[in-house]
Amino acid sequence: MKSSFIALSAAVVVAVSIVGMKKPDYVKNAMETFLPAGEIERTPPTSRLVPQQQAVTVNDAKPPVFQEIKRSAKPVLDTVVTAATGSVVDESALRYFASRGDTARLQAEISRLKALYPDWVPPKDPLAVPPNADTQLEAMWQLYSQARYAEVRKAIAERQVSEPAWKPPADLIDRLNIAEARMRLINASDLKQYDTVVRIGSETPSLLTCSEVDVLWRVAEAFFQTDKAQRATDAYAYILTNCDNTAERLATVQKAAALLPSRNVEDLLSKEKTAPDGTMEFDSIRDDLARRFVAEANADGKIVVAPQYLSRVERLAETGGLASDALLLGWYYLPRGNMENAEKWFRTARDKEDTASASQGLALTLIDRNDQLAAEDTMYRWRDDSKDAKAVYLAATANLLALDPPGPISADVLKRIAAEVIKSRDASTAQQFGWYARALNQPQTALQWFKTALTWKLDDEPSAYGLAVTYLQLEDLKGLAEIQRLWAGRSARIAKVGEVEEPLKTKGRQLPAPEGTVAVTQARPATVADETVERPASDIVLARPRAAVSARRGCKSTINPQTLAPEAALTRGWCLMDLNRPLEAAAAFEVGLLGSSAKTREDAAYGQSLAYLRAGLAGKAAVAAVKAPQNRKRALELQQSILADKAVAAFDGGRPRETILVLDQLKQLGPERTDLLSLRGYAYLKLKRYADARRVFEALAAIGNRDGQRGLGILYQIFNDKD
């Protein structure tokens, strides 16, 4: 209801207040329902609580302040009636409305006077009531009806000067006080002076009735804006409990839904009435309310939407033509880990309207189930739509290149990924291009990509490590020495490249990002992280037999290991391991197992187990490890490495619970390595065990580990992201 309407209807404030209430003791009004008890006690009564003959002097700059009457067990109205008994009934307003032919206001005035003076008998023919003989008072009422309150005050003052014995009707003063209070309240509300709104409301309880719904709305908003959400809810509830105007009741729910949390709005909806035709009065806005509840939950991941509202939005998404409904559902299910439903609704939205938001959501679900090629294709069109879209696209490309073993990628797709990586100067995907090239036995190409990644990100240790092992593969000892010099004291594994003890398999590969990063889910697109997570090494540093070290030049050609003697096959197996050709090495070690020497068979079984681990075949590695007896140290190392590989494989396969179980087994064999501790943290993240994840990441961050710092950043993003 607009304030102009309030001004036009000002003449019947008190009268309609009485009629609008269901009970005659309207003085016990909304103040007792939703204003603080202390404010009620401080509320001064209006003039209807004092004898009518109270005078107003010329010097009164403000409406008169009336004596406060304390509340008692007996209704205040009884006191009013008792005080009013025997008093002369002021019929000036009655005569004025009758003279104007305003039957609505006339009837309201009759109702008001009967409530105040039970013994008063209204005229049989109100329209026949003679006009006011007092033309000056008539003019004052006319000014009042036109909301010209200052002029009314001026006219009263001037008449009191010219006629000192004349006293204005108490009814006129009462109405004038209330009208001016309403104007001050509305002005304070428009200026967002919410404390003032609450104060004026508490001082003028007669404004807080069904005839002043606009004032009640403003007071409710003031409560909410002054951090009194429950008081605001009570104000809206007062309207729905006591007021009958259908349009105003509907507007009340709409206004409440725009401010209050969904749980408070649901409380208000419980006050819904059934229409004569059997329909519910708020049915017309329930669809919009359901949408609003889901949108609110998308902004705050802690909110859980009631099933009936989710079902309503799902019905709208299925039967309506709006892609936005399906998008709401997709972004609701995505951060809550329900990938199946999220993908369904993102696809529905994309079928109706292919937008960046729908494609982003779909790509994130595809990344989660490791369909990186489809994710890249989904986001390619929208890669430049926003920073978030670019981040999701680059995450998909990095994960696509990081697949282990590498998946088939067409030349066209590789070309467009490379162009986009160069355009975006994205070090993460450039690094993955390096590992991808190494997996395809293209060391020169890998070298260029690792160098490019380091150019864009000087502190990218995985790219520096990739550069080091590629220099070693190409036998560029000068390049290897230079990269080791640059990273001296900053990376232990780079320093060890080329030594007899070297990592079991290439490190620096990328994990499918845990929850809270681009590789899994987000509450809404604005929270996508810009970095991916470095793959923790699934191996431990294992020493091969010194006697088996061979020159790399001796195994570059391809031969059938069956033509070699067991000892020669063993030597060739280690050589092939140096060239990162694990499956060929495994075949050579198989021949080595035929050796007559127990030492040869032990080394061959050990080497074959390592080869299968490097190839990602943990099951075969476990079988190979028992083909010949191993000493206690080697057996322990192999068991640890196999379990570590299983943990990584379980995580890659989207089985975080299994990851934790395997890591627990591994922990029983010895202290937990830093990279596997990081893996444990990300597994906890996927399981939404945030307290456990935080404990792990804090321990890692305390020693300067980057994965620990990233993990803490993801946790902060999950709980504090308001973008």
Mean pLDDT, rounded, for 213-233: 91
Long-range CB contacts (< 8 A, 24+ apart) of 215-220? 215/6, 215/182, 215/185, 215/186, 216/30, 217/1, 217/251, 217/252, 217/255, 218/185, 218/186, 218/189, 219/185, 220/255, 220/256, 220/259
pLDDT band at 54 (very low <50, low <70, confident <90, very high): very low
pLDDT of residue 199: 92
Answer yes or no: is pLDDT of 344 > 70.
yes
Mean pLDDT of the chain: 74
Got the DSSP string for 585-622? HHHHHHHHTT-SSHHHHHHHHHHHHHHHHHTT-HHHHH
pLDDT of residue 189: 92
Q: Extract the tokens encoding 489.
A: 């004291």
Answer yes or no: is pLDDT of 471 > 70.
yes
pLDDT of residue 552: 40
pLDDT of residue 534: 41
Mean pLDDT, rounded, for 370-383: 90
pLDDT of residue 37: 42
- The amino acid sitting at 520 is V
Answer yes or no: is pLDDT of 666 > 90.
no
pLDDT of residue 130: 59
Pairing of strands 501-502, 542-543: antiparallel
Instruction: Answer for the pair 332, 297: CB distance below 8 angstroms, yes or no.
Output: yes
Mean pLDDT, rounded, for 387-413: 87
User: Is the full-model pTM beyond 0.95?
Assistant: no
pLDDT of residue 413: 92
- By the 10 Å C-beta count (0-12 exposed, 13-18 middle, 19+ buried), 409 is classed as middle
pLDDT of residue 132: 59
CA distance 232 to 268: 11
Note if the bond before 169 is cis, omega within 30 degrees: no
Mean pLDDT, rounded, for 447-452: 94
Name which of 338-352, 408-422, 475-489, 695-709 the model is least confident about: 695-709
Q: What does the pLDDT look like over 198-216, one tens digit per residue?
A: 999 888 887 888 878 899 9
More confident residue, 624 or 362: 362
Answer yes or no: is pLDDT of 588 > 90.
no
- The amino acid sitting at 206 is S
Answer yes or no: is pLDDT of 601 > 50.
yes
pLDDT of residue 434: 92
Of 508, 498, 411, 526, residue with least CA distance to 453: 508
DSSP single-letter state for residue 502:
E
- The amino acid sitting at 65 is V
**Three-point CA angle 472, 473, 478, nearest 5°:** 35
pLDDT of residue 86: 52
CA distance 583 to 585: 5
Q: Cβ neighbours of residue 436 under 8 Å, at least 6 residues apart?
A: 401, 402, 406, 446
CA distance 49 to 209: 18
Instruction: Answer for the pair 480, 471: CB distance below 8 angstroms, yes or no.
Output: yes
pLDDT of residue 91: 72
Most confident range (mean pLDDT) of 43-57, 128-142, 536-550 is 128-142
CA distance 40 to 717: 45
pLDDT of residue 133: 67
Residue 361 parent element (H or E)? helix 356-368
Mean pLDDT, rounded, for 615-640: 72
Answer yes or no: is pLDDT of 451 > 90.
yes
Of 613, 611, 612, 589, residue with least CA distance to 601: 589
Name which of 51-55, 203-207, 324-328, 622-626 the model is least confident about: 51-55
**Three-point CA angle 70, 75, 80, nearest 5°:** 80
Mean pLDDT, rounded, for 52-79: 30
Most confident range (mean pLDDT) of 73-87, 495-509, 634-648 is 634-648
Residue 350 parent element (H or E)? helix 339-352
Instruction: Answer for the pair 417, 372: CB distance below 8 angstroms, yes or no.
Output: no
pLDDT band at 247 (very low <50, low <70, confident <90, very high): confident
Instruction: Answer for the pair 680, 660: CB distance below 8 angstroms, yes or no.
Output: yes
Instruction: Answer for the pair 288, 296: CB distance below 8 angstroms, yes or no.
Output: no
pLDDT band at 612 (very low <50, low <70, confident <90, very high): confident
Mean pLDDT, rounded, for 352-381: 90
Instruction: Answer for the pair 303, 296: CB distance below 8 angstroms, yes or no.
Output: yes
pLDDT of residue 188: 92
**Three-point CA angle 326, 332, 336, nearest 5°:** 140
pLDDT of residue 515: 36
pLDDT band at 422 (very low <50, low <70, confident <90, very high): very high
Answer yes or no: is pLDDT of 536 > 90.
no
Instruction: Answer for the pair 520, 366: CB distance below 8 angstroms, yes or no.
Output: no
CA distances from 315 to 290, 293, 355 (A): 11, 15, 21
Start-to-end CA distance of the chain, whole Å, equals 34
Dihedral pair phi/psi, residue 501, rounded to 5°: -90, 120
DSSP helix/strand/coil, 534:
strand
Q: What does the pLDDT look like over 273-319, one tens digit per residue?
A: 877 776 777 777 778 888 888 888 888 878 888 888 888 888 888 88
pLDDT band at 537 (very low <50, low <70, confident <90, very high): very low
- Using CA atoms of 188, 191, 192, 194 in order, give the dihedral in degrees to the nearest 10: -20
Share of the chain above pLDDT 70, in %: 76
Mean pLDDT, rounded, for 689-715: 82
Answer yes or no: is pLDDT of 2 > 70.
no
Cβ neighbour number for residue 441 with a 10 Å cutoff: 12
Mean pLDDT, rounded, for 94-99: 72
